[in-house]
Amino acid sequence: MAGIAVSTTINGDAVEYLCQPDETLLDVLRDRLGLTGAKEGCGTGDCGACSIILDDRLVCSCLVLGAEAEGRRVETIEGMAHGDTLHPLQQKFLEHAALQCGICTPGFLIAAKDLLAKNPDPTEEEIRFGLAGNLCRCTGYDKIVRAVQDAAIVMKGA
């Protein structure tokens, strides 16, 4: 199998890589580019731990081929903070202890960022359904929902 040359933009930076036709974008990010923030919890789109934003759409990177990223914009957890300054969602996740083991956290943060970008003032129900594609086994979601609610308030004020 010949490698496919891909030119793409990841977290604002131009990136080029070679990948195999059956290689997922998640595998490319983790194994070829060293961006291990996206996690593989299932590999079948059921857990959301590998969530990224692809051209302003929230997707599971395990359900995207690496070859499909050609010419597109990829945002991952590694690009969420601005240098030393955490994104308000990251800050609120810490303050509310919205993570225990933390394996689902990058996926939740990306999904929550997408949610608030599209709906800056969500109800609790909208948050819960908006984040239903991300599984967390530690928290019972309570503190995650509260962190997103709190971050929404901060971001509206900003």
Partner 1 sequence: MNFDPRFSGRKFASVGTRPIRPDGIDKVTGRARYGADFNMAGQLVGRVLRSPHAHARIVKIDTSKAEKLAGVKAVITAADLPDLTDGDAAMYDVLDNCMARTKALYDGHAVAAVAAIDARTARQALKLIEVEYELLPHVTDVDEAAKHTAPLINDAIFTEGLEEKPVKPSNVTKRSQFGHGDVHQGFGQADFIVERSFKTEQTHQGYIEPHACVANFSSDGTADLWVCTQGHFVYRQHCAQLLGMEASKLRVTSSEIGGGFGGKTHVWAEPVALALSRKAGRPVKLVMTRDEVFRASGPTSATSIDVKIGARKDGTITAAEATLRYSCGPYAGSWAEIGAMTAFACYKLDNVKTVGYEVLVNRPKTAAYRAPSAPMAAFAVESAVDELAKKIGMDPVDFRIKNAAQEGTRSSYGPVYGPIGIGPTLEAVKSHPHMKAPLGKNQGRGMACGFWFNFGGQTCTDLNIGMDGSVSLAVGTVDVGGSRASLSLVAAEELGIDYSQVKAIVADTSSLGYNDMTDGSRGTFSSSMATISAARNAILILRERAAQMWDIAVDDVVWEKGHAIAKGEKHGNLGKLSLKEIAVESGKTGGPIAGHSELVADGAGVSFATHICDIEVDPDTGAARVIRYTVVQDAGKAVHPTYVEGQYQGGAAQGIGWALNEEYIYGKDGRLQNAGFLDYRIPVCSDLPMIDTQILEIPNPNHPYGVRGVGETSIVPPLAAIANAVSNAAGVRMTHIPMSPPRILAAIEAEREWSK
Partner 2 sequence: MRYIRPLSIEDAVGQLAGSAGAAAILAGGSDLLVRMKGGFAEPELIVDIKAIDGLSEIRETAEGFSIGAAVPCAVLGENIALKKAWPGVVEAAKLIGSKQVQGRCTIVGNLCNASPAADSVPALVAAGARASVVGPAGRRTIPVQSVPTAPGKTSLAKGEIIEAILLDKREPRSGDAYLRFIPRTEMDIAVVSAGVNLTLDEHGVVKSARVALGAVAATVLLVEEAAEVLVGSRLDEATLERLAKVCAGACRPIDDKRGTIEFRRKVAGVLAQRAATSAYARAGGK
Q: What does the binding site for partner 2 look like in residue numbers (CB under 8 A)?
A: 1, 4, 20-22, 24, 43-46, 48, 51, 54, 57-60, 62-65, 67-68, 70, 111, 114-115, 129-134
CB contact at 8 A, 49 and 134:
yes
Binding partner at 51 among partner 1, partner 2, none, C-beta below 5 to 8 Å by kind: partner 2
- Which uninterrupted H or E stretch holds 51? strand 51-54
Cβ closest to partner 2, residue 67 vs residue 109:
67
Three-state secondary structure call for residue 134: coil
| Three-class HEC string of 88-113 | HHHHHHHHCCCCCCCCCHHHHHHHHH
Other beta carbons within 10 Å of 37: 18
Cβ closest to partner 1, residue 64 vs residue 151:
151
Binding partner at 60 among partner 1, partner 2, none, C-beta below 5 to 8 Å by kind: partner 2
Select from 2-10, 28-36, 63-71, 150-158 the region that touches partner 1 (CB under 8 A). Answer: 28-36
117 in contact with partner 1 (CB under 8 A) = no
81 in contact with partner 1 (CB under 8 A) = yes
What number of H helices and E strands is found in the chain?
5, 5
CA–CA separation, 49 and 41 (whole Å)? 6
Binding site for partner 1 (CB under 8 A): 20, 22, 27, 30, 35-44, 46-47, 49, 76-78, 80-81, 86, 90, 93-97, 99-106, 109, 124-125, 127-129, 131-146
